[in-house]
Structure 1
Amino acid sequence: MMKDEAPFLLEWYAHHLAVGFTKILVYTNDCSDGTDDMLIRLEELGLGYHRRNEIPEGIKPQPSAMKHAQVEPVVRNADWVLMFDADEFLSINYGDGTLDPMLDAAGDANGIVITWRIFGSGNVIDWSRDPVTEQYLYAAPPTWNKGWGVKTLFKFDHEYWKLGIHRPSIKRKHLDDGFPDTVKWLNGSGLPMEDYFKFRGWRSIRRTVGYQWAQLNHYAVKSVDSYAIRKFRGNVNNKKDKYNSDYWSLQDRNEVRDEKVLRYSDRRRAIMDELLTDPVLNKLHFAALERVEARLEEYRKTDAYEALKASLIEALKVPITQINAKPPKARDPEKIKALMSQVEKNNAERPVNERRTKPSAEFSDVEDGGDGFVPGEIDTSVETAVDWISNHDIFLPADVRIFAQSTLDQVMRGKYQRRLARWTGRVVEDGDRILDLGAGIGFLSFLTLKHYPNCQLLVQEDHASRLALMKDVLKRNALDFDTRLGWHEKPVVDPNSDTTTIASIDALIRVTQPAVIRASQEPIGRLLAQLDLGVTKRIMLTGPAANAFKQSKVSGADLAENEDIGIAEAVVINRTPAVKATS
């Protein structure tokens, strides 16, 4: 569905031909910039279909177009259907980036739920004719749940399905005839969707989000000048003043760089160049560009433009943690239950372990056996506004690029690793030498040195970016522990070799001779009985290391005195050293 998208139309069209769509159907309403004329010409060239969206009085354009599409032969005869907008570009991360290999991999699935990636302005102010997919390469982190709206690629049968913006809905007459049992949808990583999504919802959740197969790049704002153009045009649901600075703050997310869509640049450019060889399309395309640029030039001379520009630049300063997708709305379980069909109610009454899936590693958190961090190296290549929140008198960055969602909530409330912090006194004595393996961003390490002035501590972290963030935390808190704090800036865990991991940690223990070891990495918990612990008296395993230790059921006299401290993320082990400490 489009209105006044002429400056961007050919790129969007060429991109999706490059992705592998064979039929593109566009509904337009009230166009004044030649969008409909361009689409008519594309249909004349046999490259797609255009329909005018006739809108009855009092009806919004979007529902009207869906009503037309429901009975449209082009839609009814399609193998797969995806409904999306002119500011959305499908990016397939699977295979060669085209549809067919991904659909082949889907096997007998009849739907793929594709989650948005919100792309921001990248701090671009001025208008440019450069392609959207090449200008805007900064996006919200994949773990930002407010950006998890979806669109659904699915096998359409008009007898059973009613089209919807984010997902189709099963027609009520087929809710209890066994049809829901035939619905097999996958998420954007090719993993099974939970059954609830057959019936309701328009967003992914932490257990279902995934981007390994596909993502839908959502360029809702583009540059400041492009945003001004969008305000001229209006929106498909006639929402008054939708495109204000609040909407900009929500959509202008630039926390991480994402270049995956550039895989289409050559194919898209070749198709677009071919389209522009048609003299009619060529004339319409460049006339649309000149028209919008002339209008923009006039608008730039006004106080309204300066006010808009200033408000958007100010909105850039809003941290991502302060963004609200929409005003909070209380969830009413009874109301939802009343709307459910009997099939949905039966599904909801199944045991939780049957209804819910475990999130993929990228989106897991402490409760799922993770360490509370976004996996992998942290992308801090672009400046972004971040809140710093006091947690036990140490200020930490409330940064969605660093912390998984539940852990971020704890940081925001000043309760990060609160229980582990309280247990430090059960593990550490003033004067101890401490080795922190997998120290994250250094919170427990720095807290220990603050509270125990005679302790010495060596921090180690396998992730280089987390080590850099540790130093940012030190600087932000004006902490200086002098020689009491040491740094081991090399990885100790070899993901491909337990033998190398053991050798690296043994060597570090021999050099450090710690009385206390704290460790978070999974292999350490699994391999603990094989380490040469030397003079170590107490061990605190946290997160993945604690879970691995519990699951491995390690035995041995030197590890016999272990204490599950009553919280999921830690185990404390007291041992009698086999050797004496050396000075």
Structure 2
Amino acid sequence: MSHLAILCVRNEAAFLLEWLAHHSAVGFDHFLIFSNDCQDGTDVMLDRLQELGHVTHIRNDGPFDKGGIQFTALKAAAKHELVKKAEWILPLDVDEFVNIHCGDHTLSALHTAIPDATAITLTWRLFGAASQVRYADTPVLETFTRAAPAVLYWPWRASMFKTLYRNDGVYKKPGVHRPRDSNEKKLAKARWYDGNGTVLPEQFATKRIFSNFGQDNYGLVQLNHYPLGAMESYVLKADRGRAVHSDDLLGLDYWVERNFNTEEDLTIQSLAGPRNAALKALKSDPALAQMHEDSVSWRSSRFSQLLQKEPFRALFGRLMMTPPSHPVTRQAAQFMIKHANLGRKVHKSAP
């Protein structure tokens, strides 16, 4: 095994097969997937996928560490035999899709383009809701094709990355955005590169979780991020809760900072052929196909239940009243960044 993806899921069965098909086409050899408290059959689907040899499934039912659901899973992953054996590791979420722009658009092509890299930052490119109100059982990658501009000045969260890193002993544990627990004796071996193939400063080897914003970070690779889906799906996401900040309720703030539909980006369709073939193969299994259909039905039923409750009905109404987000100007972003830095200085100087 050369490339391992680690995933945490809850109530994502309607999207799981497309995600697996795409990342198989990208070049991942295996998937270590943790599930928790699933109501839509995601856990049962993962059991079947494990039977077929596509994934390794672990139920992450708690109790959870103080860091939350995802941190608990990644802590367990660090001890797993698959993680110890993997040559390269990338923790992902089910709404994130690796999009490689060089060569044949696979991981092998990316390594050929940056042969010295031991860690590559895959910066998010945010894809908005594309004015989709109701959820439909259509491929995410074909439905949501409008994204934030390649150069975005604000918010800084839009420039967060996930890290594809060589499992060479420099880092002992996988993390949500970057590998953790570095071995100080081996840290000098780390060679961090960004999505353009540019060498990154030393601080990235130990602490950064977002790329420099206000620049295009996507020359060789980007991470297509679909955090919203249709408005209906966002209501279900609010019901599901967050894997990292589980106590934070999803509202309009999260939506507005991610609903960019400024530019069309179809580059991920470069792998449409092998992805569709892989998806067809997965759905050729009658059990998986039925589980997918059942999860689609569950989403419809659950949304109907939620809309009978005032908080979720109010959220859905607000989503429909809120226009797509517009990027702020460079000048406006610099104004906010200036005050953010002033605030940091005040915080550091406080007794």
Corresponding position: 1:166 with 2:177 = yes
The alpha carbon displacement at 1:10 in A equals: 0.7
CA contact (8 A) 1:70 1:158 kept: no
| Local SS of the residue matching 1:39 | helix
Instruction: Report which stretch shifted further, 105-114 or 327-336.
Output: 327-336
- Tell me what 2:76 maps to: 68
- Tell me what 2:192 maps to: 185
* Equivalent-residue separation in structure 2 for 1:110 and 1:291 (angstroms): 42
Q: How many residues align?
A: 331
**Distance change >3 Å, CA 334–CA 200, structure 1 → 2:** farther
TM-score, length-normalised on structure 1? 0.53
Tell me which of 116, 121, 142 is aligned to 1:108: 116
- Tell me what 1:155 maps to: 166
* Equivalent-residue separation in structure 2 for 1:318 and 1:137 (angstroms): 15
**Distance change >3 Å, CA 103–CA 318, structure 1 → 2:** closer
* Equivalent-residue separation in structure 1 for 2:174 and 2:110 (angstroms): 22
**Distance change >3 Å, CA 199–CA 41, structure 1 → 2:** same
CA RMSD of aligned residues (A): 2.5
* Equivalent-residue separation in structure 2 for 1:240 and 1:77 (angstroms): 34
* Equivalent-residue separation in structure 1 for 2:285 and 2:220 (angstroms): 35
The residue type paired with residue 255 of structure 1 is T
The alpha carbon displacement at 1:301 in A equals: 5.9
Corresponding position: 1:230 with 2:237 = yes
The alpha carbon displacement at 1:232 in A equals: 2.0
**Distance change >3 Å, CA 209–CA 195, structure 1 → 2:** farther
The alpha carbon displacement at 1:296 in A equals: 2.2
CA contact (8 A) 1:111 1:186 kept: yes
5+ residue gaps, structure 1, are: 337-583
The alpha carbon displacement at 1:306 in A equals: 4.6
CA contact (8 A) 1:188 1:209 kept: no
CA contact (8 A) 1:93 1:212 kept: yes
The residue type paired with residue 151 of structure 1 is K
* Equivalent-residue separation in structure 2 for 1:289 and 1:328 (angstroms): 43
The alpha carbon displacement at 1:255 in A equals: 1.1
Tell me which of 93, 96, 120 is aligned to 2:128: 120
Matches within 5 A, 1:317-396: 319-321=326-328, 330-332=343-345
* Equivalent-residue separation in structure 2 for 1:195 and 1:57 (angstroms): 33
Corresponding position: 1:276 with 2:278 = no
TM-score, length-normalised on structure 2? 0.87
Tell me which of 171, 187, 194 is aligned to 2:201: 194
CA contact (8 A) 1:150 1:203 kept: yes
CA contact (8 A) 1:125 1:223 kept: yes
CA contact (8 A) 1:114 1:153 kept: yes
Return the structure number with greater relative CO, CA threshold 8 A, min gap 6.
2
- The C-alpha deviation readout for 1:175-220, integer Å capped at 9, x for no partner, is 2x3x222111111011111111111110001498621111001100
| Local SS of the residue matching 2:344 | coil
The residue type paired with residue 135 of structure 2 is W
CA contact (8 A) 1:76 1:158 kept: no
* Equivalent-residue separation in structure 1 for 2:125 and 2:43 (angstroms): 28
The residue type paired with residue 70 of structure 1 is A
CA contact (8 A) 1:115 1:209 kept: no
CA contact (8 A) 1:54 1:64 kept: no
- Tell me what 2:262 maps to: 255
Corresponding position: 1:44 with 2:44 = no
Tell me which of 22, 36, 44 is aligned to 2:29: 22
* Equivalent-residue separation in structure 2 for 1:55 and 1:247 (angstroms): 26
The residue type paired with residue 26 of structure 1 is I
- Tell me what 1:141 maps to: 149
The alpha carbon displacement at 1:57 in A equals: 5.2
* Equivalent-residue separation in structure 2 for 1:309 and 1:114 (angstroms): 31
Instruction: Report which stretch shifted further, 115-124 or 105-114.
Output: 105-114
The alpha carbon displacement at 1:294 in A equals: 2.1
- The C-alpha deviation readout for 1:113-159, integer Å capped at 9, x for no partner, is 11000110011111111101110011111211431100110111457
Matches within 5 A, 1:391-402: none
- Percent identity at matched positions? 33
* Equivalent-residue separation in structure 2 for 1:23 and 1:332 (angstroms): 45
The alpha carbon displacement at 1:15 in A equals: 0.9
- Tell me what 1:442 maps to: none
| Local SS of the residue matching 1:83 | strand
Q: Which has the larger radius of gyration?
A: 1
The alpha carbon displacement at 1:298 in A equals: 4.2
**Distance change >3 Å, CA 143–CA 242, structure 1 → 2:** farther
The alpha carbon displacement at 1:302 in A equals: 6.0
CA contact (8 A) 1:114 1:216 kept: yes
- The C-alpha deviation readout for 1:222-254, integer Å capped at 9, x for no partner, is 111111121221111353353101111011111
**Distance change >3 Å, CA 84–CA 142, structure 1 → 2:** same
The residue type paired with residue 72 of structure 1 is H
**Distance change >3 Å, CA 318–CA 111, structure 1 → 2:** closer
* Equivalent-residue separation in structure 2 for 1:37 and 1:56 (angstroms): 21
* Equivalent-residue separation in structure 1 for 2:282 and 2:233 (angstroms): 23
**Distance change >3 Å, CA 180–CA 277, structure 1 → 2:** same
- The C-alpha deviation readout for 1:305-339, integer Å capped at 9, x for no partner, is 552233113332554328999x9583249959xxx
* Equivalent-residue separation in structure 2 for 1:150 and 1:46 (angstroms): 29
Instruction: Report which stretch shifted further, 53-62 or 68-77.
Output: 53-62
**Distance change >3 Å, CA 296–CA 77, structure 1 → 2:** same
CA contact (8 A) 1:3 1:29 kept: yes
CA contact (8 A) 2:260 2:326 kept: no
**Distance change >3 Å, CA 129–CA 197, structure 1 → 2:** same
CA contact (8 A) 1:114 1:188 kept: yes
Instruction: Report which stretch shifted further, 68-77 or 56-65.
Output: 56-65
